[in-house]
Structure 1
Amino acid sequence: MRKLIYGMNLSLDGYIAAPGDDIDWSVPSDELFQFWSDQLRATDLTLYGRKLWRTMSSYWPTGDQRPGATPAEIEFARRWREMGKVVFSSTIEEVDWNTRLVSGDAVTEITRLKAEDGGPMDIGGATLAGAAMRAGLIDEYLIAAHPVLVGGGTPFFSALDSRVHLNLAETRTFPGGVVLTRYETRR
C-alpha cells in the first residue's frame, strides 16, 4: 500500500495562499527549495487539484529554460515533467507532461491508487487534500510554516468530521525562520 503525503508552505496562521491567491510570501530559500525538490525525487506520483495544477503547469514545464534558473530549479523542472501526475478536475479538458486527468470521484480514485504497489504519493491543493483528509487517506503531513500572518485566504487544513491523531516525526528549521514539521497519522 502506498503512502499519501500532504505537504506545502503555509503561513503561521495556517494558510497556503493569502486572499487573492497571493503566495508571494512563501518563496522558499534555496535550502527549503532543495528540501521540496528532494521530496519530489522520492515521490512516485503527484495528485493535484485544479488550482494547484494550473499554477504548477503554468511554470514548471519550462522552468528550466527561464533566464537565471538555478541548478536546483533546472533539476526540479526536469523531475516535474518526467514524474507521473494525476489531476482531479471536472472543468479541465486536457493535461500534458506525464499527466492523467480524472473527472470522477476523487476519494474513490485516491483509494484505488493507494492500494496499488508503488512509492509514495504527494497530494496538493487544499480542496483535493481536504477530501482526502476527511476520508482518512493522508498518512503524513509536511508543514513548512513561514513566519508571516496573512489573515485569511486558502487554509491548509479543511473542516474535518472527526479528530485525526498525529505523531511528530521530524522538525527542522530553514533560513528566514521557516520551521518544517512532519507528522505521521496515528492508525
Structure 2
Amino acid sequence: MRTLTFGMNVSVDGYIAAPGDDIGWSVPSDELFQWWSDRVAATDLSLYGRKLWETMSPHWPTAAQQPGVTPAEVEFAHRWLAMPKVVFSSSISAVDGNARLVTGDAITEITRLKAEDGGPMDIGGATLAAAAVRAGLIDEYVLATAPVLVGSGTPFFPALDNWVNLNLVETRTFPEGVVLTRYETRR
C-alpha cells in the first residue's frame, strides 16, 4: 500500500495562500527549496488539484531554459517533469507532459491509487487535499511554517467532523525562521 503525504508552505495562522491566492510570503530559502526538490525526487506519484496544476504546469516545463535560472531550479524542473502526476478536475479537458487527467470521483481514485503497489504519493491543492483529509486518506502531513500572519485566505486544514491524532516525526528549522514539521497520522 502506498503512503499519501500532504505538504505545503503555510503561514503561522494556518493558510497556504493569502486572499487573492497571494503566495508571495512563502518564497522558500535556497535550503528549503532544496528540501522540497529532494522530496519531489523521492515521490513516486503526485496528485494535483486544478488550481495547483494551473500554477505549476505553465512554469516548470520551460523553467530550466529561463534567463537567470539557478542550478537548484534546473534540478527541480527536471525532477518535476519526470515525476508522474495525476490531475483531478471537472473543469479542464486535458493535461500534458507526464500527467493524466481524472474527471471522476477523486476519493475513489485516490483510494484505488493508495491500494496499489508503489512508492510514496504526494497530494497538493487545497480543495483536493481537503477532500482527502476529510476522507482519512492522508498518512503524513508536512508543514513548512513561515513566520507570517496573513489573516485569512486558503486554509491548510479543512473543517473536520472528528479529531485526527498525529505523531510528530521530524522538526527542522530553515533560514528566515521557517520551521518544518512532519507528522504521521496515528491509525
Name the TM-score class by shorter chain: over 0.9
* Deviation of 1:161 (Å): 1.7
Amino acid at match of 1:159: A
The aligned residue for residue 142 of structure 1 is 142
Render the CA deviation track for 1:6-50: whole Å, top value 9, x for unaligned. 000011110000000000100000000000000001000000001
Q: Secondary structure at the match of 2:158?
A: coil
Render the CA deviation track for 1:99-127: whole Å, top value 9, x for unaligned. 00000000000000000000000000011
Q: CA RMSD in A?
A: 0.5
Q: Secondary structure at the match of 1:93?
A: coil
In structure 2, runs of 5+ residues without a counterpart are none
The aligned residue for residue 81 of structure 1 is 81
Task: Quote the Cα distance in structure 2 between the aligned partners of 1:95 and 1:164.
Answer: 33
The aligned residue for residue 2 of structure 1 is 2
In structure 1, runs of 5+ residues without a counterpart are none
Q: Secondary structure at the match of 1:58?
A: coil
* Deviation of 1:2 (Å): 0.2
Q: Secondary structure at the match of 1:123?
A: strand
Task: Quote the Cα distance in structure 2 between the aligned partners of 1:107 and 1:184.
Answer: 20
Quote the sequence identity (%). Answer: 77
Q: Secondary structure at the match of 2:37?
A: helix
* Deviation of 1:160 (Å): 1.2
Task: Quote the Cα distance in structure 2 between the aligned partners of 1:13 and 1:134.
Answer: 20
The aligned residue for residue 14 of structure 2 is 14
* Deviation of 1:82 (Å): 1.2
* 1:1-187 → structure 2 map (5 Å cutoff): 1-187=1-187
* Deviation of 1:130 (Å): 0.5
Render the CA deviation track for 1:45-66: whole Å, top value 9, x for unaligned. 0000010000011211111111
Per the normalisation by structure 2, the TM-score is 0.99
Render the CA deviation track for 1:124-173: whole Å, top value 9, x for unaligned. 00110010011110000000000000010000000112110000000000
Render the CA deviation track for 1:59-106: whole Å, top value 9, x for unaligned. 111111111111110011011111100000000111011100000000
Per the normalisation by structure 1, the TM-score is 0.99
Q: Secondary structure at the match of 1:132?
A: helix
Task: Quote the Cα distance in structure 2 between the aligned partners of 1:120 and 1:70.
Answer: 27
Q: How many aligned residue pairs are there?
A: 187
